[in-house]
Amino acid sequence: MSNKYRDKKTGITRREILKVLGVSALSYGFLGASSKVYSKSTAHIVIVGGGIGGATAAKYLRLLNADVKITIVEPKSQYIFCPGSNEVIPGWITLEDLMVTYTTLKTHYRINVIQDKAQSINFDKKQLKLEGGDTLTYHKLIVSPGPTHHYEGIEGFNKELAEGAFPSAYSAGKQTMNLRNQILSMKKGGTIIISSPEDPYRCPPAPYERASYIATMLKDNNPTAKLLILDSKDDFIFSNNYLVYWEKHFGYGKADSMIEWVSKKKGGNVVKLDASIRAVITSNGDIHKGDVINIIPPEKAASFALQNNLAEGDWCPVDFFDFSSLLHDDVYVVGDSIEGDPMPKTGYIASNQARVVVQAINDELHGREVGSPFIINDCVAMAGQDYGMALAETFRYAGKGKKLGERYHILGAEKNKGKQIVRQQVAENWQRTFRKDVFE
Amino acid sequence: MNKYLLRLFFILSSIGFSNSALADDDLTGGLSLKENFELAKKFPMPSPWLLSAQCSACHGTLGTAFNEIIPPLAGMDKQEFIKKMQEYKTADASNFIVMGIIAQPITDEEIEAMAGFFAKLKPEPLNQEKIPRDVVVPEWAVMNKESE
């Protein structure tokens, strides 16, 4: 295609499409027609956020519907895929391996990708205002902005410190490289502290996967160093695998263990950072000094969602039948920003929530009864390049106003070395397949 | 055959297939399987498209990708799909990776719907041409793996 923004069917450009949509939507308003009155060929679905939830929504809506106009609003020109990014810390993969662009979504799936930041929603006019000054008129708005890393949730901590001397590295990017470099250049026999947050937060096993990888790095390069995990929880997902692996490889549970995990009950709950002495302070007043301090902060819904009245408290409430906002019509919220309990905040789940949403929107466009939701989460994690683990969850609709019905099964620690490796290979394979599924 | 398939072949041939997914230290929770099936009956079955799309993250978009060690579902014979999923549902024949635990809460009707959906699709060829890598790698993201 000579012009990658040019619509295959109509031959008009992205800007022209937007213009036409703006006008046609307005004219519906003048005619006093209800918002439901639009044909499937003129509907405009606008998506806030080009991460896993947003990109999946765009691509899968296009798979369902060749005609509908789809626009993603995303400030970045390329995206760093978060699943797998812990592997950048020991250098098993590079950040480049995780980078994707929106080229295929734009050209092959005919998605308008506007590189701008969504600012505010006018719910009455059904308009989304962008920071760059443009206004988009939508029939349906899908909001998938990811979480806010709430650095200030830890006293004395903030974004500037996370981008400087105390990297959180909890969305893949610059901080990930910074954390890696700090670990590599740490003095011999130094101490690394990881503070793991209270629930809910993105990718529950990630802090422990990260701890495992860091301990593997230390074993090779700095064997007298210590890794201290201070936890704001009393247990963690896959502890039935990680603790077994740590015992075997890092002496976990012994006095000279390289790796130590302190539960909330035992005083692991970090509440404060004292940057001047490079120490974290727990709720019982213990002071832990670290040469490298990696605080994974608590989370809440994205500031876009909070500022636009899509949240109640820290998270966005949705109807689990179709992930429509409980607070505003024709707006759907998916991914890390929602109050989704018992669904954990994983990319896998965000993508499957997005599939539920686009099916619901497409059913409505066709005047059909909207199909039941169904969500699978198949979470994989690794302890090292020789050990993988997995769990499976299903989430079924349980009725209006009810949480989804969850069934989960977490595989226990695998003793057979061959199987450990197969599970690790599956985890790695999944990252690549999933990335391709969302962005290619 | 690529290196991953070769590696998988050797690993699988050394450990055999007939192992239970239900190890002693497995953890299950939420609804029991029985409650899960009862809940499934209460509401209309999700569409074959939505059920099948749940597999995309591992098996590629609508089950069409053939990547390394996870096989495609698209194009699979309907009866073969049903047979495999039913085998996964019984503990003693379960696949030790994830399929055993994924298949267990899925109803027979849902399995049949997915089987019908995937049987109508075609898988991608194994060595499909990749899309151009047009990422721009910023300087801060460049790392020298050899430095270790």
How many residue pairs from chains A and B have C-beta atoms closer than 8 A?
Answer: 205
pLDDT above 90 covers a percentage of chain A that reads 87
**Cβ of residue A29 closer than 8 Å to a chain B Cβ:** no
> Max alpha carbon distance in chain A (Å)?
76
Tell me which fold the domain B47-123 belongs to: Cytochrome Bc1 Complex; Chain D, domain 2 (1.10.760)
User: Quick check: A229 and A239 in contact, CB under 8 A?
Assistant: no
Both A287 and A305 in a single domain? no
Both A37 and A160 in a single domain? no
Residue A382 Cα to chain centre, angstroms: 18
The residues in A 272-291 lying below 8 A from B, measured between CB atoms, are none
Both A24 and A113 in a single domain? yes
CA triple A35-A36-A40, angle to 5 deg: 115
Both A208 and A317 in a single domain? no
Structure tokens at A366: 């066709």
Helix axes A417-439, B3-15, angle to 10 degrees: 140
Domain boundary among A334, A356, A371: A371
**A chain contacts of residue B67, beta-carbon cutoff 8 Å:** 429, 432-433, 436
User: Quick check: A113 and A106 in contact, CB under 8 A?
Assistant: yes
Q: Which domain holds residue A354?
A: 14-148+300-371
Interface test with B, best of A81, A380, A433, A438 (most B CBs within 10 A): A433
Both A122 and A220 in a single domain? no
Q: Is residue A90 part of a domain?
A: yes
Contact B57 A433 (CB under 8 A): yes
Interface test with A, best of B114, B131, B139, B144 (most A CBs within 10 A): B131
**Cβ of residue A359 closer than 8 Å to a chain B Cβ:** yes
**Cβ of residue A124 closer than 8 Å to a chain B Cβ:** no
Looking at the complex, report in whole angstroms how far the Cα of residue A19 sits from the nearest Cα belonging to chain B. Answer: 29
Q: Is residue A225 part of a domain?
A: yes
Both A204 and A246 in a single domain? yes
Domain boundary among A297, A312, A331: A297
Q: Is the pLDDT of residue B18 over 80?
A: no
State residue B14's pLDDT score.
43
Q: Is the pLDDT of residue A11 over 80?
A: no
Contact B132 A103 (CB under 8 A): yes
Contact B31 A429 (CB under 8 A): no
- pLDDT tens-digit series, residues B91-143: 654 566 789 899 999 999 999 999 999 999 988 776 555 666 888 999 999 88
Contact A409 B145 (CB under 8 A): no
Both A269 and A316 in a single domain? no
pLDDT category of residue A82 using cuts at 50, 70 and 90: very high
Per-residue pLDDT averaged across A172-189, rounded?
97
Looking at the complex, report in whole angstroms how far the Cα of residue A428 sits from the nearest Cα belonging to chain B. Answer: 10
ipTM for the complex shown: 0.88
User: Quick check: B103 and B89 in contact, CB under 8 A?
Assistant: yes
Query: Three-class SS of residue A116?
Result: coil
Q: Is the pLDDT of residue A272 over 50?
A: yes
User: Quick check: A105 and A58 in contact, CB under 8 A?
Assistant: yes
Per-residue pLDDT averaged across A67-90, rounded?
97
Sign of CA dihedral A423, A425, A431, A434: negative
Contact B49 A376 (CB under 8 A): no
Contact B28 A410 (CB under 8 A): yes
* End-to-end alpha carbon distance in chain A: 17
Contact A412 B23 (CB under 8 A): yes
* CATH for A173: 3.50.50.60
Strands of the sheet containing A270-274, edge to edge, are A270-274, A279-282, A287-289
- pLDDT tens-digit series, residues A100-131: 999 999 999 999 999 999 999 999 999 999 99
User: Quick check: A198 and A232 in contact, CB under 8 A?
Assistant: yes
Both A157 and A291 in a single domain? yes
How far apart CA A121 and CA A304 sit, in angstroms, is 9
Interface test with B, best of A106, A374, A420, A434 (most B CBs within 10 A): A374
- pLDDT tens-digit series, residues B29-61: 999 999 999 999 999 999 999 999 999 999 999
Between A250 and B100, where is the model more confident?
A250
Domain count, chain A: 2
Both A288 and A318 in a single domain? no
**Cβ of residue A257 closer than 8 Å to a chain B Cβ:** no
Both A293 and A304 in a single domain? no
- The burial class, CB within 10 Å (0-12 / 13-18 / 19+), for A287 is exposed
Domain boundary among A273, A297, A321: A297
Both A120 and A177 in a single domain? no
State residue B51's pLDDT score.
98
- pLDDT tens-digit series, residues A342-388: 999 999 999 999 999 999 999 999 999 999 999 999 999 999 999 99
pLDDT category of residue B20 using cuts at 50, 70 and 90: very low
Measured CA distances, A224 to A257, A293, A393 (Å):
10, 17, 39
Instruction: Give the DSSP H or E segment for B112.
Output: helix B108-119
User: Quick check: A219 and A250 in contact, CB under 8 A?
Assistant: yes
- pLDDT tens-digit series, residues A50-77: 999 999 999 999 999 999 999 999 999 9
